[in-house]
Amino acid sequence: MKVIADLCIVPMGVGPSVSRYIREVRTIIDGSGLTYDMHANGTNIEGEMAEVTAVVEACCAKLHEMGVERIFCTMAFSTRNDKVQTMVDKLTALNSDA
């Protein structure tokens, strides 16, 4: 099942600044080969549900390895079967009259 997900990974217990952890997350997502776009509050990523969730799990495993004892994560996604749609298509639809 194809999903377009918005992922947010929150390292807990390691101080208020977490960008060094989010850079590791980005490296893992980038290495997955999936289409993604990092924004100010998370990362949009598209792929098969099992691929996307495997990437999320790999990110969490890496943060645990780096010493993050607890991680909070949100993943919002949509799936549709009336048509094939990408992240780019969603933004394009917003800017058309269709």
Gap between the Cα atoms of 62 and 43, Å rounded: 17
Residue among 26 and 34 whose Cβ is closer to a copy of itself = 26
| C-alpha span between 55 and 61 (Å, rounded) | 10
Taking the CB of residue 91, how many other CB atoms lie within 10 A of it? Answer: 10
Binding site for a copy of itself (CB under 8 A): 1, 4-6, 8, 10-19, 22-23, 26, 37-42, 44, 49-50, 53-54, 56-57, 60-61, 64, 69-82, 87-88, 90-91, 93-94, 96, 98
**Closer CB to a copy of itself, residue 20 or residue 33?**
20
